[in-house]
Structure 1
């Protein structure tokens, strides 16, 4: 199922996961620009919420971000995470 997801679908699902991890309303996260920082003031992920998000990404998409991106640059913004996950889905 995941190999048929396009990048836009990945981003939509990630926004939902981000909202859940950060305990924000999904509609709020859905409206944020894609370049919104995950750890910036709008989303304000904590380190614990970040770990929760990474676990959810791995469970849903089978992409272990922490293992594949040791510097965790992919956690910069909504867009960088969506790009990273989508690229690794295509590698499968």
Structure 2
């Protein structure tokens, strides 16, 4: 299942999840540069939205970001989250 996902596919799905968690327009999030800060002004992810996002990532990709990345550095930007999830996709 997830073994067929490439980085671009993971990023597309994560952008949709970010938009949903932050209650933003999906097209607007899709158009943002990959280095856009998740907690910066464009996305302005709140701590509650961050928890929602982490739950969605775990449910969809089987990657428990909060457990694997205790400092949560992977939540810096769209790109860092995409890289982290892609690197930790479970093999099926």
Q: TM-score range by the shorter chain?
A: over 0.9
Q: Which digits, 9 at most, give the CA deviation of each residue in 1:48-75, with x for residues without a partner?
A: 0000000000000000000000000000
> What does residue 50 of structure 1 align with?
50
Distance in 2 (alpha carbons) for counterparts of 1:56 and 1:2: 15
So what's the TM-score if we normalise by structure 2? 0.97
So what's the TM-score if we normalise by structure 1? 0.97
Aligned residues: CA RMSD: 0.7
Structure 1 unaligned residues grouped into runs of 5+: none
> What does residue 86 of structure 1 align with?
86
Q: How far 1:25 sits from its partner (Å)?
A: 0.4
Distance in 2 (alpha carbons) for counterparts of 1:4 and 1:75: 24
Alignment of 1:1-92 (within 5 A): 1-89=1-89, 92=91
Aligned length: 91
